[in-house]
Amino acid sequence: MSHTVKCEIKCKEHNICFKSPIFFGTPGTFTSAITYGNIVSCPIGGEMIPCNKDNMRFQYRDDNGRVFHEEGKDTF
Ligand SMILES: [Zn+2]
């Protein structure tokens, strides 16, 4: 099975989602990224947004082409 993962960050201040500049290949690397405390800047306001489970969204695509969205969860 091979999944494509797209990661989006949500800016709660501007109520938008934008594609993360940080590449997360798997939920495992996602966890590593959290450990290292990555910060991204909002494309609208430029404010710094810490990447955490509350404001990240992932897009998975399975072998049949179906797309799944998953909000950040504690189960990673
Ligand atoms: Zn913003």
Question: pTM for this one?
Answer: 0.61
Report DSSP letters for 41-55, one per residue. Answer: E-TTT--EEE--TTS
- What separation in Å is there between the alpha carbon of 35 and the centre of ligand 1? 23
- What separation in Å is there between the alpha carbon of 66 and the centre of ligand 1? 30
- What separation in Å is there between the alpha carbon of 49 and the centre of ligand 1? 8
Over residues 9-39, the pLDDT tens digits come to 899 999 999 988 665 555 555 555 555 567 8
DSSP 3-state assignment of 74? coil
